[in-house]
Amino acid sequence: MPPPPVPNIIVVIDHAGAKVFQTQQARAGASASEIVPDPPQQFQHQKKSESDDEDHEENHAADLQFFEQIAVACKAGGRIVLIGRGKGQSNEAHHYRAYLDAHHPDVSARVLPLLTADLSHITDAQLIELGQQTLHAAAIG
């Protein structure tokens, strides 16, 4: 008997934390695994000067630990939908993707094109639907 299919993953990430949904669990109404940086990054980033923002503190221990926790949550999954907010330096999804490229190329290879959403005005159900639409489009495209 073949092994069960590996669940796809939807990761929603911003400076305050990340939510990781496994699509099979999301359909059943299960909640996301939540990963919160320690200390919360919004406070850490407010203390920086603009000149320090060039690399977004990719080498800062708190960023690395936060990103590593998310990578571990994604290790056993299938394709990954990565949803962030904003553009450029304000989109934590871009920074997380760069971390994956450098430290977990096997996980990075499973990430579909990044999505952006207004995370303060969207429900978990809407995020899951957006992720599932993206997975469906990737499967037929």
pLDDT digits (tens, 9 = 90+) for 40-62: 554 444 444 444 445 544 557 78
pLDDT band at 26 (very low <50, low <70, confident <90, very high): low
pLDDT at 34 over 80: yes
Query: What domains are there in the chain, each with its CATH number?
Result: 9-45+56-140 (3.30.420)
- pTM flag (> 0.85): no
In this prediction, residues 10-25 reach a mean pLDDT of: 91
- The DSSP string of the chain is -PPPPPPPEEEEEETTEEEEEEHHHHHTTPPPEEE--SS-HHHHHHTS-GGGGGGTTTTSHHHHHHHHHHHHHHTT-SSEEEEE-SSGGG-HHHHHHHHHHHH-HHHHTTBPSPEE--GGG--HHHHHHHHHHHHHHHHH-
Instruction: Kindly report the average pLDDT of the chain as a whole number.
Output: 84
pLDDT at 86 over 90: no
